Chains A and B, each alone.
Chain A
Amino acid sequence: MSERENIFSRIREALKMPAHRSGYHTEQGELPGGLPTLEERRKVLPIVSATEEGQIQMFARNAADLKAVFKVLPNASLLTAELKALAFAEGWKRVAGQRTEMVEKQISELGLPALFTEGGYDKAELEKCDVGITECDALVAQTGSVVVTSRTTGGRALSVLPPHHVVVARRDQLIPDLPAAYVLLQSRYANSFPSMISFVTGPSRTGDIERILVLGAHGPKKLTIYLIES
């Protein structure tokens, strides 16, 4: 028998004895069986406003708590000005990005040496870049998270290796909550998921030294999110 078969036969043997239902210490006694539904989950997770405005405000509050920068811009041309200002303030010498129309355009406006990750790239070169610019799959209002994937946002490392991660999102990418995010991923990718999907919630951080919060442990120290309205 292979180890796989050994393990499964032990599992099946073990499960012949039924376990007591969980819930010894619940207030209502024994818990019902079966998996919780999406509606049930929504009853315990935080309430999210039904309006887009409310969701933008919620995302903004979360981003501020997380020490991420979040700005709503009426159009993409204002984005150019923002990025130029950032480039100047932070002294960017080399930028990295993904090859989408939006990102390519913005990067060309910056007029700096650029690395695009599609088609493969040199890791050491990416490490030298000051910023990684990506779009996203979704912004989650409930948690202030940015959803990135290895297929749609330039690979696995672009959004985590450079010290500053800049996200360009569209207003229609804002979704209310975590349950909605998983519904979106299932419907968008069905049986062909990207090999990596990540929920980025704030810049990189650690509390490993005396429980004191320090940003930029290994991932980006800065996370800047732009929401373009039109």
Chain B
Amino acid sequence: MSAPVAQFDEDARRVAGDTRQRAIVQTAMHKYEVVRDFRKPWFQDWNGARDQASRTKFEAINHLDRYLDQFASKLESRGTKVHWASTGKQAVEIILGILKEKNARTVIKSKAMTSEEIHLNDAMEKSGYTVVESDLGEFIVQLREEPPYHLVFPAMHLTRGQIQQTFEEKIGEKSSDSPEELTMVARRVLRQKYLDADVGITGANFGIAETGMISITENEGNARLTAALPKTMITLMGIEKILPRMEDLGLFLPVLAVMGTGQALTGYNTIYSGPRQAGEADGPDEYNVVLLDNSRTLLLADAEQRDSLHCIRCGACLNVCPIFRNVGGHSYGTVYGGPVGSVITPNLRGLQDWKHLSYASSLCGACTETCPVRIDLHHHLLQNRRNSVQEKPDFFMAQAFRMFAVVANSPGLWSMVTTMSRVGMKVRGWVNATFLDPARAWTKTRDLPPIAGQSFREWWKENR
């Protein structure tokens, strides 16, 4: 058993059995659903908005060469340095190179899932830089040395008491456990960091090809400060974040807000087109945009699953997924969890090592139903399963299915098996739920119904 599978099995089993932790996640997700459903009618036509979002991303991704070229050229023409990274390692090297060149000491960061993907913080810290996460949720999990729990809500698994304790233990800040006071502690602590930081690193929600701009969505204002105060700014962006035109933001910003947090629009939606310009009062002297491939082109090449690159990282699929709700965000062991993570991770990090994420689903389809850009998520999970079998079938599994086919296809054999299984079930019943029970995976927690005294086929034969 590969390490990722073992880790997932253990963590999933533990959290699924932990009713207290499950309750925290369920409550948070329920609150999200209430707010989201309250906000959806803000759109005149929600499904129409999804259709338009889907069409826009389809156009952007299926002409990615054209739009990415336009995007980079526009940025460069107005003074931004554009860097290209085929791998996460290259992206890290590029960023470390910039930090070295600028003699940086402190880096302030706003939320960037791509930076988690390439383990950037780790690399910067090992190279001796002080790294501060400015997003409140990220700040908290950084102090606890934990990965973020959720795409949009990094600290959703924590109670106020736990956060209070973290602040006291890790930064010596004593406060009550009121969310208001705790937030003010973070605000106070981080303000000085904004002023002191040499380099600000952000992620990007969208890249606008038409005008060469980076669009950043946030509620707290920490990204705006990260982009305003330090002398050097770096934005790390996956190449799939491209939108064709500035006006597309008029659709995507509300869609992202409603599905991400149940708001009509997030607090700050900002577009950056370069470093500080002549005549501007402030802003970074230098702006670097690092464009990251890191296997996205692999997904692009899979025409069937290419639309998984349409993802706008709203987190809605995580929120509705009954698996996510019962195993929590840390069990996945990856940066991107939930349904979209279970679709893309096997493709980005190795099908055989990570296929278990695609199997750990009942294929209920709630994710596909909710996805604002209409990604065919649960069918992609099926496709991953099929692909993993085609690549490396399990001989015994295949044999088992073949034998079942032989029995199912033959009325005579089926009838025989029906009779035999009545006896078999009785015998099994004697060792029900013990280690001898072949159906233990079921019977440990659930009763198993008996084989009916008369099967349907037997009834049909007798009565019709």
Whether A and B touch directly in their complex, counting CB atoms under 8 A apart, is answered as yes
Stretch with Cβ within 8 A of B (4 or more), from A12-20, A78-86, A87-95: A12-20
B contact residues around A18 at 8 Å (CB):
62, 303
Q: In the complex, A36 Cα to B134 Cα: how many Å?
A: 36
Q: Which residues of B contact A3 (CB under 8 A)?
A: 84-86, 90
Comparing B113-121, B293-301, B355-363, B407-415, the segment that makes contact with chain A is B293-301
Asked if B69 is at the interface (CB within 8 A of a chain A CB), the reply is yes
**Contact across chains for A218 and B52 when beta carbons are under 8 A apart:** no
Residues of A within 8 A of B250 (CB): 41, 45, 177-179, 181-182
Contact A160 B221 (CB under 8 A): yes
The interface centre, meaning the residue of B51, B155, B160, B300 with most chain A CB atoms within 10 A of its CB, is B51
> When the two chains form their complex, are residues B265 and A143 in contact, meaning their CB atoms are under 8 A apart?
yes
Give the size of the chain B interface in residues (CB under 8 angstroms): 115
Contact yes or no, B183 A214, CB < 8 A: yes
Q: Contact check: which of A26, A151, A179, A195 meets B51 at CB < 8 Å? A: A26
A-side contacts of B282, CB under 8 Å: 117, 120-121, 123, 150, 155-157
Asked if B428 is an interface residue, CB under 8 A from chain A, the answer is no
In the complex, the chain B residue whose C-beta lies closest to that of A161 is: B225
Contact digits for B303-319, partner A, Cβ 8 Å, 1 yes 0 no: 11011001000000000
* B147–chain A nearest beta-carbon distance, Å: 15
Q: Closest B-chain residue to A213, C-beta based?
A: B179
CB-CB contacts of B197-227 with A at 8 A, as 1s and 0s? 0000000000000010100000111101101
Determine the residue in chain A with the shortest Cβ distance to B246.
A182
The answer to whether A14 touches B43, judged by C-beta atoms less than 8 angstroms apart, is no
The 6 closest A-B pairs by CB, nearest first: A219-B221, A155-B281, A156-B228, A14-B301, A217-B220, A208-B137
Looking at B64, B85, B159, the one whose CB has the most chain A CB atoms below 10 A away is B64
Contacts of A8 in B (CB 8 A): 65, 68-69
Question: Which residue on B lies nearest to A147, using beta carbons?
Answer: B269
B388 at the interface (CB under 8 A from A): no
With A117-B281, A150-B281, A214-B179 as known contacts, state yes or no: A19 contacts B58, CB within 8 Å.
yes
Candidates B52, B211, B267; contact of A36 at CB < 8 Å: B52
Q: A46-B42, A198-B271, A211-B32 are in contact. List 9 more A-B contacts (CB 8 A).
A: A11-B300, A24-B374, A45-B250, A150-B281, A155-B228, A156-B282, A196-B228, A205-B219, A219-B221
CB of B277 within 8 A of CB of A21, answer no
A208 CA to B148 CA, complexed, in Å: 12
Given A3-B90, A25-B374, A119-B281, A209:B297 Cβ within 8 A: no
A52 lies within 8 A of chain B by Cβ: no
A216 close to B225 (CB less than 8 A): no
Contact with A along B32-57 (1 / 0, CB 8 A): 10000000001111111101101111
CA distance A104 to B45 in the complex (A): 45
Hey, which bits of chain B sit against chain A, CB under 8 A? Answer: 28, 31-32, 42-49, 51-52, 54-59, 61-65, 68-69, 72, 78, 84-86, 90, 134-137, 140, 153-156, 158-160, 163, 179-180, 182-184, 186-187, 190-191, 194-195, 211, 213, 219-222, 224-225, 227-229, 239, 244-251, 253-254, 261, 264-277, 279-283, 287, 291, 293, 297, 300-301, 303-304, 306-307, 310, 368-369, 373-374, 376, 379
17 chain-A/chain-B pairs, Cβ below 8 angstroms: A11-B300, A13-B301, A22-B54, A22-B57, A23-B54, A41-B52, A120-B281, A157-B225, A193-B213, A194-B280, A196-B271, A197-B270, A207-B219, A209-B158, A211-B32, A216-B183, A216-B184
Interface hub of B46, B180, B222, B264 (most chain A Cβ within 10 A): B264
CB-contact partner of B267 in A40, A117, A156, A205, under 8 A: A205
Beta-carbon nearest neighbor of A24 in chain B = B376
A179, chain B: closest CB distance, angstroms: 5
Interface of B is mostly: helix
If the complex has contacts A22-B374, A23-B374, A208-B137, are A33 and B84 also in contact, measured as CB distance less than 8 A? no
Q: Could you say which of A2, A201, A220 contacts B269, with CB atoms under 8 Å apart?
A: A201
Taking each of A19, A31, A35, A195, which has the highest tally of chain B beta carbons within 10 Å of its own beta carbon?
A195
Does any Cβ of B come within 8 Å of A127's Cβ? yes
Are A44 and B52 also in contact (CB < 8 A) when A205-B267, A210-B160 are? Answer: yes
Asked if B54 and A150 make an inter-chain contact with CB atoms under 8 angstroms apart, the answer reads no
Q: A26-B374, A33-B59 are in contact. Are A219 and B224 (CB under 8 A)?
A: yes
Which of A17, A121, A151, A206 has a CB less than 8 Å from the CB of B219? A206
A53 on the B face (CB < 8 A) = no
Contact A217 B187 (CB under 8 A): yes
Tell me, in angstroms, the Cα distance from A31 to B399 when the chains sit together: 41
The yes or no answer to A27 lying at the interface (CB within 8 A) is yes
- Name the residue of chain A whose CB is nearest to the CB of B24: A210
Please report the C-alpha to C-alpha distance between residue A46 and residue B228 in the assembled complex, in whole angstroms.
32
Bound Cα distance A38, B310 (Å):
21
Contact for B44 among A31, A43, A161, CB less than 8 A? A43
Contact assessment for A150 and B44 in the assembled complex, using a CB-CB cutoff below 8 Å: no
Residue from A25, A157, A198 within 8 A of B268 (CB atoms): A198
Contact in complex: A160, B224 (CB < 8 Å): yes
Give the chain B neighbours of A127 by CB distance below 8 A. 191, 195
CA distance A210 to B47 in the complex (A): 30
A47 within 8 A of B: yes
Q: A11–B65 contact, CB under 8 A?
A: yes
